[in-house]
Amino acid sequence: MFLSIRYFFVTFFLLRFASSLSQVILNEIMFDPVADEPEWIELHNPTDHQIDLQGWRIADADTSRKIIIADTVAIFPLSGFVVVSEDSSILNRFPFLQDQVYVPKAFPRLNNDFDTVFLFDSSGILIEYVAYGNNQCGGNGISIERISPRVSADDPTNWSPCVSIEGATPGGQNSVWTSTILPNATLSVCPNPFSPDNDGFEDVTEITYHLPVKIAHVNLHIYDVHGRRIRTFMGGTMSGSQGSIYWDGRDDQGRESSMGIYIIFLEALESMAGEVLTVKRTVVLGGKL
C-alpha cells in the first residue's frame, strides 16, 4: 500500500513538474538592430494549450523595472510566437507580424555587449532568463536565437546567431532550431532516498549519468515538487559520455532543503550535430526514522 501511494505521488509531481517546464519561453532577441529599427524580444509557446499573457513582464538586468507586456487579455496561441517590440516600426521590415507584435508602454534598454533578459509570469514568478554576451555573438542587425526549447535559456551553448539571410526570424521557427532528442541516456541516483543529517550515513546522494555521445555541454538541475529550480550543477560545461555529481541536499544558496521528493533534470547539447538530450529522475530527501 505504501509503495502504491508513493508511486502515485511521484507520478503526480512529475506531471506538475512537466507542466512547469512547458511555460512560455524566451526564443529570440534582437539587442543590436540596424539603424532606425527597434530592439525586440520574441517569445514562444511550446505547449499544446493557449496562455494569457496579460500581466506578464520582461526586464533587463535592472529587474526593479519590470515592463508589462500586455495589460489586457492577450491570448498566446498554442505553438505560437509573439514579438515584444520597442515600437511598431518592426512592421516596416516584417509586415506579416501584424497580429503577433506587442508594443508595451516602455521597453528595456538592451545593451549591445552584455545584458540579461528576464521573463516573469503574471504572478511575478521568474520563468526564464538569458544572459547574453560575446559568447553568443549576434549584433549589427543579427539576432540571437534559441537552439532548442528543451534546453534551459540560461545555458549559453543553447543560443546562436541567426543564420537566416534576413538576420532574424521573428514570428516563426528559428533558423538554428532543433528538436532532436538523443536516445538511450541513463540517469541513476544512489542512495535513494538519502538523509543529509550529518550523521555520516547516506548524507549525500550520487547522481550518475551516461550519454550516447562522446562530448556534450551538460546542465543538471534539481527542482522541488512545485517546479522551482533549487540547485544547478555543471552550468553547461563540457562533459564526456559519463560522469557523477554529488548532492548534499542543499540549494544554490547553501540552505538545507526540506524533506520530500525532488526532480533531477539533466539536459545535454551535442553542439556539432545540434542534438539535444533530456532525461529526468526523482530523488527522495528523507530524515531519521
pLDDT tens profile 56-91: 999 999 989 999 999 999 999 989 999 999 999 999
* Residue type (1 letter), 241: S
pLDDT at position 13: 41
Q: What is the pLDDT of residue 183?
A: 57
Q: What's the topology of domain 17-161?
A: Immunoglobulin-like (2.60.40)
Average pLDDT taken over every residue of the chain: 84
Domain with CATH 2.60.40.4070 in the chain: 180-285
Closest CA to 232 of 251, 256, 207: 251
Reading the block at residue 42, the C-alpha cell is: 520574441
**pLDDT class of 37 with cuts at 50, 70, 90:** very high
Q: Where in the chain is the domain with CATH 2.60.40.1260?
A: 17-161
- The answer on pLDDT for 44 being more than 90 is yes
| pTM of the full structure | 0.62
Q: Average pLDDT, stretch 185-197?
A: 87
Instruction: Among 64-78, 80-94, 138-152, 238-252, name the one with the lowest average pLDDT.
Output: 138-152
> Residue 12 has what pLDDT?
38
Residues 6+ apart with CB under 8 A from 264: 187, 189, 207, 220, 221, 222, 280, 281, 282, 283
For residues 267 and 150, the answer to whether their CB atoms sit within 8 Å is: yes
In degrees rounded to 5, what are phi and psi of residue 19?
-65, -40
pLDDT category of residue 152 using cuts at 50, 70 and 90 = confident
In this structure, whether the domain defined by 180-285 belongs to CATH 2.40.37.10 is answered with no
**pLDDT higher for 202 or 163?**
202
